[in-house]
Amino acid sequence: MTIKVEDMHLLRDLWKRITPDTVIGADNIHTRHSREIADNIARRESFAILKRLKLKIERLRRQVRLHTLTVGERNLMHVHNVNID
């Protein structure tokens, strides 16, 4: 059976949670780089979601239908300090 890179990443992540002080669990250049990439992707996805929601709010405001926003959408906008009403 072949061990893939993804398997090694999973093992390292698990080991880091169990004993982060060991050599296997310690951060290295590859784990830091992978984490930076994942953080950048998540940041871009969040930005895109927020942008789409702002456009939706503008559209609903023009249609006088802001009441149709879900609780989750309202909470997200509140967390990002975007005025809805």
Cα 41 to Cα 56: distance, rounded to the nearest angstrom: 23
Specify the residue for token string 């906008």: 77
- Overall pTM surpassing 0.85 (yes/no): no
Per-residue model confidence (pLDDT) at position 62: 94
Mean pLDDT rounded to a whole number for the chain: 87
Q: What is the mean pLDDT of residues 43-48?
A: 95
Q: What's the rounded Cα separation, in Å, for the pair 39 and 45?
A: 10
Percent of the chain with pLDDT over 70: 99
Greater pLDDT, 85 or 80: 80
Give the three-state DSSP class for 82: coil
Question: Token pair of 5, please?
Answer: 């890179």
Is the separation of the CB atoms in 68 and 57 below 8 Å? Answer: no
Secondary structure (3-state) at 51: helix
Q: Is the pLDDT of residue 57 over 90?
A: yes
